[in-house]
Structure formats: structure tokens, C-alpha cells
Amino acid sequence: MRNSYAQILHSCAATLVAGSLLATSLSLASLAQSTPRKNTSGDDSSVARGKYIVEGLAVCTQCHTPRNSSGTPDRTKWLQGAPVWLKPAMPVTDWPLEAPRIAGLVPGSDADMVKLLTTGIWRDGKPLRAPMPQFRMKRSDAEAVVAYLRSLSSSSSSQE
């Protein structure tokens, strides 16, 4: 009798877990269908890959997003351009004072941006000035970054 009571409890617990997983899956599927999507120049996986690179690897937000009063990047002005807070250890005559807006309407064509991210060279044929890193991304990664940046609003937007 005791063994069958344990089997019943185990069966009930398994049924509850399976039901919870099913309900969660249905809720997420419903949410995904009802959530409006932003118009992007790439597919969802490309945009997700670009977001991962921009936010997790290249940390573009460190310079291209203004900081709030506590010193953290302001999510309401995500990648909207910001004063460069990094300063050179020694005087540099060509040090940039502002990082440009890169959300939405990026400061160049897709081809310009891909060239920049794969070679470190801007459309004028010159390397970017420090402190901008001279990236050497794979073409597919650079294209994903551009897709992500174009998927963002070019005016104050919160990207959670």
C-alpha cells in the first residue's frame, strides 16, 4: 500500500510539472504571436546574434550610450551616442569627444558598417580613432551587428 501511495504522488507531481510546462509553452507562443516586431533588415536569428555581439562581446554600450546619474548606461537612450568618457593617458590631438549614435539609422550604409567592422577602416579610407577598437569581425558577424543596430529605434528607446 505504501509503495502504491508513493507511485500515485510521483505520478501526480509528474503530471503537474508536465501541465506547467505545457501552460508556459502555450503562454510564450501566444505572447510571441501577439507581440509586435520591429522592422529589421535581417532575420530574427541574425538580429539576436548581433545583439549578443554588440552587448556581450564588443560592449558598444560603454561608449555609445549615455550614462545616468549613477554612472550606468541609460537604457532609455540605448546606443544613441554619448560623450566619450574615456580619456587618453597622454595628450592626443585627434581624440573624439562624442561617440556617434549607432541605433536605428547607423552613421553609414550597411556596406560601410560591414567594412568598418571587418577591417577597422571607415568609408573615408582611414582607420577609426582611438578609443574605438579596430575590429576584425567575420563578415557574417558584422552583418548581424548591422541587422541588430538597424532593428533599434533611432530615437530614445528602451531596450531591455
- Confidence at residue 42, expressed as pLDDT on a 0 to 100 scale: 52
In 3D, which of 155, 156, 151 has the Cα closest to residue 54?
Answer: 151
- Confidence at residue 41, expressed as pLDDT on a 0 to 100 scale: 46
Q: Considering the entire predicted model, what is its pTM? A: 0.67
Q: How far is CA 126 from CA 123, 129, 137, in A?
A: 7, 9, 17
- Confidence at residue 32, expressed as pLDDT on a 0 to 100 scale: 35
pLDDT, block means (10 residues), the chain with 160 residues:
47 39 35 36 82 92 91 90 90 89 87 94 90 93 95 62
In 3D, which of 133, 152, 120, 110 has the Cα closest to residue 63?
Answer: 133
Q: According to the CATH classification, is domain 38-151 in 3.30.310.40?
A: no
- Confidence at residue 155, expressed as pLDDT on a 0 to 100 scale: 65
- Confidence at residue 106, expressed as pLDDT on a 0 to 100 scale: 81
- Confidence at residue 15, expressed as pLDDT on a 0 to 100 scale: 38
- Confidence at residue 44, expressed as pLDDT on a 0 to 100 scale: 87
Q: Where along the chain do its domains lie?
A: 1-35, 38-151
